Amino acid sequence: MKLILGQVLTFAGNPFHAPIDEVVCHEQRGAVAVEAGRIVEVGPADTLRRAHPQAEVTDYGAALISAGFIDTHVHYPQTAVIASWGKRLIDWLNTYTFPEETRFADPAHATEIAATYFDLVTANGTTTTVSYCTIHPDSVDAYFTEAARRGLRVLGGKTCMDRNAPDGLRDSAQSAYDDSKRLLEHWHGRGRASYVITPRFAPTSTPEQLSALGALWREHPECLMQTHISEQHEEIAWVADLFPRARDYLDVYEDFGLVGPGALMGHAIHLTERERARLKELDASLIHCPTSNTFIGSGLFDMEGLMAEGQRIGLATDTGGGSSFSMLRTMAAAYEVAHLRGASLHPAQLWWLATAGSARAIRMEDRIGTLAPGMEADLVVIDLASTPAIAQRAARAETLWEALFPTIMMGDDRAVRAVWANGEMLIG
């Protein structure tokens, strides 16, 4: 058994829907007991040390121990083109994304980028990612293989596109179904891997392909499905031209059986009232990508309104359209976006979104996202005084939240003191 000591932060509920003091537990001098990849016990450090005198102890002092961050929408193949200059969504795809994704026809390139990607995200405290790969099955194999090497719980799938994409990045309705099914059968539930059925978005799939992937999801409802919706106004107009019979963007996905529990709808910025009501009714998840939405100029996600409706919401970097691999920076951007809409998110709400809330969005709240007995032992340890600027601000703090908020707003990988995955130390 291992004992990991420090300040311990856990969630027992949603701080958007209940008083924060009722759903957050903060142990000033706490411990997490870990054995065989699982959390056995969480409580005061002195109590757990007495109960487990033979345990191997790792003491992080005043650092904060939390569940590892969960990034619910990424494009790992875009790692090398992150922070590319000056384009709206469709131009950005054509100028940067599609040329880079074409390179993943080379398995060696996919292997190299997967390793770089996981180096970057684990350095930033992220222990679970949900990724779009490319149309190339080898890109999926590279992603899951590298994650397994590190003991990470990850989700992902082959991105399917059979139109409005360049040569070398188009499959077909049949090959999308066949490749996805084969990859699903190979990877889903293997170790800590979960397969996600992945039509990129409506403009790059024909009705035939969307229908085929809807059929695959009906055959495998144990899997999640991910796609994009209502990111930019030009995209919405494009969808209306391509699917003139649809009532709105969501109706396209509804028509092909691609909305329901387990659907991860990326961005979801410019939703109609009908779409909002229907997404709630069908219990889909909305994925907020704040750095991407500001970097590409997409718009401002309505966190306060959608959360008040009871929507499932996850938080994500959307690398490489998003401009950071850090969930700390993503929390900061979520705070800023909400402020621009007139809402002020509490630090507890931001941290919940990056951990327990994102676990709920991807239907894994029974395994990851908080620290509790029986949960998988994925942890991040945060130094609350990682830079001189943060340290001088945190020194004045009178509460946990005053101490944590400067790290949310100004922190980066220097704040990540240690990362544990599946009960084993990856960084630290």
User: What does the pLDDT look like over 312-342, one tens digit per residue?
Assistant: 999 999 999 999 999 999 999 999 999 999 9
Number of structural domains (the chain) is 2
Of 361, 394, 418, the position where a domain reaches its end is: 361
3-state secondary structure of 278: helix
Looking at residue 116, its pLDDT comes to 98
Rg (CA), the chain: 21
Q: Over the stretch 122-148, which tens digit does the pLDDT of each residue have?
A: 999 999 999 999 999 999 999 999 999
Give yes or no: residues 44 and 84 share one domain.
no
- In terms of domains, do 255 and 342 share one? yes
Residue among 305, 233, 281 nearest 89 (CA) = 233
The dihedral formed by the CA atoms of 112, 115, 118 and 123, expressed in degrees to the nearest 10? -110
Q: Is residue 75 domain-shared with residue 167, that is, in the same domain?
A: yes
Buried/exposed 322-344: b ≥16 CB within 10 Å, e otherwise: bbbbbbbbbbbbbbebbeeeebe
331 in the same domain as 205: yes
- The verdict on 337 and 393 lying in the same domain is no
Instruction: Say which residue the tokens 């083109």 belong to.
Output: 81
> pLDDT digits over 230-274, tens only?
999 999 999 999 999 999 999 999 999 999 999 999 999 999 999
- 317 three-state secondary structure: coil
CATH number at residue 409: 2.30.40.10
Quick one: pLDDT at residue 85?
87
pLDDT tens, per residue, the chain with 428 residues: 999 999 999 999 999 999 999 999 999 999 999 999 999 999 999 999 999 999 999 999 999 999 999 999 999 999 999 988 877 777 878 888 899 999 999 999 999 999 999 999 999 999 999 999 999 999 999 999 999 999 999 999 999 999 999 999 999 999 999 999 999 999 999 999 999 999 999 999 999 999 999 999 999 999 999 999 999 999 999 999 999 999 999 999 999 999 999 999 999 999 999 999 999 999 999 999 999 999 999 999 999 999 999 999 999 999 999 999 999 999 999 999 999 999 999 999 999 999 999 999 999 999 999 999 999 999 999 999 999 999 999 999 999 999 999 999 999 999 999 999 999 999 99
**β-pairing, 38-44 with 312-315?**
unpaired
Q: Is the dihedral of CA 89, 92, 93, 97 positive or negative?
A: negative
Tell me the DSSP string of 321-386: TSS-S-HHHHHHHHHHHHHHTT----HHHHHHHHTHHHHHHTT-TTTSSS--TTSB--EEEE-TT-
- Are 235 and 342 contained in the same domain? yes
| pLDDT the model gives residue 66 | 98
353 in the same domain as 228: yes
Q: Are residues 236 and 319 in the same domain?
A: yes
- 238 shares a domain with 203: yes
pLDDT value of residue 93 = 84
Q: What is the pLDDT of residue 88?
A: 78
Q: Which of 311, 330, 361 is the last residue of a domain?
A: 361
Residue 87 belongs to a domain with what CATH number?
3.20.20.140
In a shared domain, residues 54 and 117: no
Same domain, yes or no: 7 and 18? yes
What does the DSSP 8-state code read for residue 15?
A: T
Of 345, 361, 377, the residue that ends a domain is 361
Quick check: 337 and 293 in contact, CB under 8 A?
Answer: yes
Q: Are residues 302 and 393 in the same domain?
A: no
| Structural domain span for residue 264 | 69-361
The whole-number pLDDT of residue 84 equals 87
